[in-house]
Structure 1
């Protein structure tokens, strides 16, 4: 083989095994060449699915308040403080740990009487102290409500139900979500008539969100003859959303 033929063979071999790239000279012939890389993406399938678990709540959150009115701001606040002290003592007697009681709002505002064609007339002051209580023994929720009302609470804003530890329910929902995603991916691949490859990417969304407090009238029934308030907690839904990207084999 001549040296010219050998050189040509080496050049052809280099072209065969080199990456798919083309070199173009810049206009005018000056400077470095511009490299255009030919990239062929693998076909992929992007899908979303979710898993849901129904679970009974094991705790409650009760929002209530004490509202007092008096001719002066000082009197309104003093009366409110005295009544809240009784409410706090009632919570302790009901077995509520102080760490589960949190002030959620404190307000003092002037109150006016409005008469047509007359300037507003100051009637007095209103003090409001709102508290959020976490009841970890769900069966005692109605008793706690009755205890604070008997101690002086005159405003109940709502009650919500939740989970002390949602991790078990979330993990169960995750398994269901991934199973649903796998089944959907297999179905699409079968419909397309191509083998399903491995999963390239997986992202998660959703998770446990405590149910917001609802008005008491929507959640409780006051029994007659002085019996305890009946509370119906129902059930909660824990949902996990997943999105996956699967390779499709050629």
Structure 2
């Protein structure tokens, strides 16, 4: 019985200690400022992806498909001949659809079939982009949909952009703290919002408007790629 009374007293004392500790912690106030940091880099691309389109039509569905496959195979062989790795050539789109008679009383009459195929060629040799386009067109491609210039193995670039964004945030925080007669004493939280790579793209329209499809391979000069990073940091100040 005596033991139970002692245990009860100890329990009450422990509860009192916990409540006191919680109240003491709640009385602490941390002064903070929240700052966004941004960075922007401009880097040269080291990889290109060319989208080559092949469109064929015929009265017979099988004939339209056969013609399209023949052109695609011919382009692929020609690309491999100039040194393009077979693994760098992929089919990204393949569409098959009928063409209907446009006359008012013949809405459901099929008069032909069209097959549309897109080959995607990735190259780390930017000097070969014009040659790849030239090979595609000379071997039956009906259009070049687009060329996207990107950066492969971009982890180091991402890290550099993040460091620059963090430094930008710290510089802003220093200015704010000094202006209100405070100083930064700690970092409470850091949030990475995004790191965005804006590829350099040449659209189909731009390619068709240029004089790319003459007797010589076109000269393609890509713009630099923009890399933007954004972070949010909460600083403790005193």
Normalising to structure 2: TM-score of the pair? 0.84
SS in 1 for 2:120: strand
- Structure 2 equivalent of residue 67 of structure 1: 55
| CA RMSD of superposed structures (Å) | 2.4
- Report the CA distance between 1:113 and its aligned residue: 2.3
- Structure 2 equivalent of residue 103 of structure 1: 91
- Report the CA distance between 1:41 and its aligned residue: 3.0
From 84, 87, 90, the counterpart of 2:78: 90
- Structure 1 equivalent of residue 43 of structure 2: 55
Contact 1:61 1:213 in 2 (8 A): no
Contact 1:51 1:177 in 2 (8 A): yes
CA distance in 2, matches of 1:212, 1:79: 33
Q: Does 1:188 align with 2:155?
A: no
Q: Deviations over 1:140-191 (max 9, x none)?
A: 1011000011111112211110012222322221221111111101001011
From 223, 226, 231, the counterpart of 2:220: 231
How many pairs align?
220
Structure 1 or 2, whichever has the larger Rg, is: 1
CA distance in 1, matches of 2:26, 2:189: 24
- Structure 2 equivalent of residue 28 of structure 1: none
CA distance in 2, matches of 1:169, 1:145: 29
CA distance in 1, matches of 2:204, 2:217: 14
SS in 2 for 1:165: coil
Gaps of 5+ in 2: 1-15
Closer, same or farther: CA 39–137 of 1 in aligned 2, 3 Å: same
- Structure 2 equivalent of residue 19 of structure 1: 21
CA distance in 1, matches of 2:128, 2:222: 12
CA distance in 2, matches of 1:219, 1:67: 17
Closer, same or farther: CA 169–98 of 1 in aligned 2, 3 Å: same
